[in-house]
Structure 1
Amino acid sequence: MTEHLTTTRATADTNVAAAVQEADEAAALAAALEERVRNGDDTVTPEQIANARELGNFAQLRADATRRRAEDAKCDARLADLAQLKADIDAHTETTDTDQLVDNLFNALLAYTQHFDAHNARVIQWRTRMTELGVPHLQDPRQVTADHGHLGINGRDLYVGNTVYATLNHVANLPYHIEQLRAGAKHLAAHHSGPRHEQAQAYAQERVDKVKASARTGVRTRKDQSA
């Protein structure tokens, strides 16, 4: 609600209240004169009562007119506000912004998928080469030896010195990653300022760090495993 509409309504209500009070006072005057006659007051003339009634009727007509003008003024002010609101909405378009955001999201998901597809392809290729070269199957990366180039195989894991490489089911992990990032973004957007902003930042960063840690499980070191 704009200041113009608020002021218009307040002014209209004040004018109506004043007109109604004037009509009530005029009606009360006529009623008082009539009551004086009933009580035996001979000084009250028919003309006085007629004038008082006429004044009361006129005051009531003025009150009615004031009320109608007030309603018209409120209606006009509201319509003006609605017209301004529509103009503001019509002038604002999110098409370009939202289109770009969707494009950014698609490109990010594409890069995410391509990254893990490429990672998995490399790991599979390396496992094939290790198998062809007779690299042994081991239970722990600490068992790699120089005789086999410090390489080893354990299921889908490849041991390369202190580093473990594994394929990742990124399709299955994607909903979890998106949900974690969405939760962080939603919380931060809800508290983008104010006393809880720092807490929201910390919460959002925690979600981001969890996703990063999950995405890094395809490549981890012996130190990562012991931790």
Structure 2
Amino acid sequence: MTTQTTTQAAAEQEAAEANALLAALEERVRDGDEGVTPQQLAEQRELGLFAHLRAEAAHRKAERAATEATDRQRRALVDQALALVETKADADQVGRAYDRALAALADLVAAVEAHDQAVSEAGRLLRDAECGPINEYVQVDHGEYVTREARPAAATRTAPRVDVSPGSTAFTFGKGIHVPVGTGQVLAVLFSKVAAGDTGKMPSGEPALTAAPITQHVDRHGEQVRRFLARSEGGEAA
């Protein structure tokens, strides 16, 4: 490209000099210089025309070179785009992954719902058995005085404890705490882990409209779900 530009500039300079020489000869004739012949004027006009044609030829050559370079760059970008689609954009792979994810999520939803239904029913049965809070009195040192105050006692299988607060189905056997985990909560936390490790962030290109509810859901319930999963993975009954 640099050589073509230089050639074009040289041709244009040559044409300008030829035109200047012709203008000088014409001016000499106007001033009465009889030494200028018609042949000299004709030859200089021919030289000027030829120089102009050479300059135009250089300009066209540069334009063709620029067009060819643009076409080569465009072809290279198109080839790169096609290669990306052919090697990375595998619709069949997406379909297979979708089927696996659908099956896995169906198993997860079924497991969570079965767990929550069992916990809810167990809590109802224990409340029907009037297994309310079990308290024991412990000595509490307040510094200047000591009192005996009621504290929840450790639950056992023979003496379970049920949380009797409105709407709650939590109960305990021994050290294990049994609570519904919630399908939506589990899915929200699962999604937040999949989405690049950034809690509640949608993958790039997805509408941000759905990000806020997921973020709120994870903020509200995420820690509870993580504790539940940690107990399950650790082998403790939940």
TM-score (norm: length of structure 2): 0.60
Say whether the 8 Å CA contact 2:22–2:48 is kept in structure 1: yes
Equivalent residue runs for 1:125-164 within 5 Å: 125-129=118-122, 131-132=124-125, 134=129, 136-138=131-133, 142-146=152-156, 148-154=158-164, 155-164=168-177
> Does residue 41 in structure 1 map to residue 33 in structure 2?
yes
Say whether the 8 Å CA contact 2:156–2:173 is kept in structure 1: no
Identity across the alignment (%): 30
Tell me, in whole angstroms, the C-alpha distance in 1 between the residues paired with 2:81 and 2:69. 18
Inter-CA distance 169–11: structure 2 relative to 1 (3 Å threshold)? farther
Inter-CA distance 219–176: structure 2 relative to 1 (3 Å threshold)? closer
Say whether the 8 Å CA contact 1:12–1:74 is kept in structure 2: no
Match of 1:121 in 2: 114
> Does residue 54 in structure 1 map to residue 51 in structure 2?
no
Match of 1:89 in 2: 81
Q: Comparing both structures, which one devotes a greater share of its residues to helix?
A: 1
Deviation at 1:99, TM superposition (A): 4.5
Tell me, in whole angstroms, the C-alpha distance in 2 between the residues paired with 1:146 and 1:179. 36
Tell me, in whole angstroms, the C-alpha distance in 2 between the residues paired with 1:182 and 1:139. 43
What SS class does the counterpart of residue 50 from structure 2 fall into? helix
Inter-CA distance 58–220: structure 2 relative to 1 (3 Å threshold)? closer
What SS class does the counterpart of residue 43 from structure 1 fall into? coil
The one-letter amino acid of 2:66's match is: K
Match for residue 24 of structure 1 among 16, 24, 31: 16
What SS class does the counterpart of residue 89 from structure 1 fall into? helix
Tell me, in whole angstroms, the C-alpha distance in 2 between the residues paired with 1:124 and 1:163. 17
Deviation at 1:45, TM superposition (A): 2.6
What SS class does the counterpart of residue 178 from structure 2 fall into? strand
Structure number with higher relative contact order (C-alpha < 8 Å, ≥ 6 residues apart):
1
Deviation at 1:174, TM superposition (A): 3.9
Say whether the 8 Å CA contact 1:163–1:219 is kept in structure 2: no
Say whether the 8 Å CA contact 2:133–2:161 is kept in structure 1: no
The one-letter amino acid of 2:155's match is: T
Match for residue 64 of structure 2 among 46, 68, 72: 72
TM-score (norm: length of structure 1): 0.62
The one-letter amino acid of 1:136's match is: C
Match of 1:165 in 2: 178
Say whether the 8 Å CA contact 2:157–2:173 is kept in structure 1: no
What SS class does the counterpart of residue 41 from structure 1 fall into? coil
Deviation at 1:28, TM superposition (A): 1.1
Q: How many pairs align?
A: 193
Match of 2:223 in 1: 213
Tell me, in whole angstroms, the C-alpha distance in 1 between the residues paired with 2:194 and 2:13. 63
Tell me, in whole angstroms, the C-alpha distance in 1 between the residues paired with 2:156 and 2:189. 39
Unaligned runs of 5+ in 1: 1-8, 191-208, 222-227
Q: Deviations over 1:13-33 (max 9, x none)?
A: 332222111111111111122
Taking only aligned residues, the RMSD between alpha carbons, in angstroms, comes to: 4.0
Higher-Rg structure is: 2
Inter-CA distance 131–80: structure 2 relative to 1 (3 Å threshold)? closer
